[in-house]
Amino acid sequence: MYNMTESCPTIKVLAVDDEENILRALQRLLMEEELELHTATSGEAGLAVLRELAGFGLIISDQRMPGMNGSEFLGRSRELAPDALRILLTGYSDVSATIDAINRGGAYRYITKPWNDEELVQTIRDAVRQYSLIAENQRLNEVVRQQNEELKEWNQNLKGRVLEQTTAIRQKNEELHGVLQKVKENYNAIIGAFSGLVELQSGSRRQHSRNVAELSVNAARELGIKGDDLETIRIAALLHDIGEIGIPERILIMPPDTMNAEELREYQQHTIRGQMAIDAIEDLRPVGLLIRHHHENFDGHGFPDHLSGETIPLGSRIIAFADHIDKASEACSGDIAGQALARAGFVLGSHLDPSLNGVFRKVTKYTYFSMKDEKTEMMEVEVGLKDLQEGMLLSRDIYSGSGILLLSKGCVLDKIKLTAIKRNYQLDAPSHDVFVMVKR
């Protein structure tokens, strides 16, 4: 026996026949089947049942009935129960009626009367199974449709959430970029402040650290040094003499060959002291290494570790060359670049790396400019604070009102430098504007 409750709800069956004994015979025959059987004695009565109750899965109808025959009833029943399967009970002689029932009523099977009980029950079971499969397929299709709708809605919501999260991430990134930019500006300001302290230590060379940094960076760029390595050289050049803080001015202005043993020992300690001064800041340790070795001579007779040749870090060799050029320029006039380079030429291979000579001959010429550029006429003009622009070249040092060096001549103004100048002018304004070089 087919048990409907194992897979789906009990199926409703409608049997229509004008002979009540036929209907009772069907009831007895299907008594043990798990079906919900309804009966009607005419086509009109059958339609009334279909209008009143929904969800019929199988309709069984006799063909020969007064008023409305089986073919017509089955055809009209399709409007009320379109998903139900239909079985026609017909006599042997009703071939044309059977064909009509199949065409009009969409009959699933037909059974000839008198029927064989087993054949009829099996046909009804097959029809119930077929309807159950169709109903289950429809149910699954509906589930899939609903799930697709839910998935579509979920995707839309997910898209919205992704857009919201993307917007939030972008905003956070912008905030983080702003914070990092501020940290970078503060970091550069602190480095500048340290450099200023070094320059205040030696009144005779107040712009020396910045000149060395400018020369070193220009030379490093010519050598293809970029990114963090370039920044390390820039900071090391700015702070290369930080270890001189605390050393008496009289020692700092003395040529090393005129110092006594104690004075020379104290002076030569400044590279180690410079390294130690910033060693507590982990990010500045590469800077400290360049500071330590910027007085190593190329021939190995420098200090503190007597390194020679390429065992001296490249950044230290660059800073040493720039340091020598700037110190030599203090005693020069007129063609400052040419004279400073000539003096450097005397110590190539002993103090300075000869492989850097070509690079420094190039960069020194546009760092230490004269009033005439090599290619175009230049003139010096005084520019008000509000008229300063990025890319302008300083022709004179900028000092605050109280005499603190803000920027050295030869600097090219960028956004950070402009911001620093404007802020310092608000805090400690000088008595004059800024002098820059422009084309005549």
Average pLDDT, the chain: 85
Q: What residues have CB less than 8 Å from 189, skipping those under 6 apart?
A: 420
**Given 2.60.40, 3.90.105, 3.30.390, 1.10.287, which CATH number is that of 371-440?**
3.90.105
Measured distance CA(276)–CA(349) in Å, rounded: 29
Range of weakest confidence among 8-17, 38-47, 90-99, 294-303: 90-99
Full-model pTM = 0.52
**In the predicted model, what is the mean pLDDT of residues 180-198?**
72
Residue of 221, 243, 223 lying closest to 231 (CA atoms): 221
> Would you say residue 253 has pLDDT above 60?
yes
Cβ–Cβ < 8 Å for 57, 132 = yes
Residue 428 DSSP code: S
Helices (H), 202-295: 208-222, 227-238, 249-252, 261-268, 270-278, 285-292
| Residue 349 backbone phi and psi in degrees, to 5 | 90, -25
Residue 10 DSSP code: P
Query: What's the pLDDT band for 5 if we cut at 50, 70, 90?
Result: very low
Sort 314 into a burial class: Cβ within 10 Å, 0-12 / 13-18 / 19+. Answer: middle
Residue 10, CA atoms < 13 Å, CB-side half-sphere: 9
Measured distance CA(389)–CA(384) in Å, rounded: 10
At residue 215, the pLDDT reads: 93
Domain ranges of the chain: 4-139, 202-368, 371-440
| The CATH number of the domain covering residues in 4-139 | 3.40.50.2300
To which H or E segment does residue 59 belong?
Answer: strand 56-62
Pairing state between β 405-407 and 398-399: antiparallel
Q: Which CATH superfamily is domain 202-368 in?
A: Hypothetical protein af1432 (1.10.3210.10)
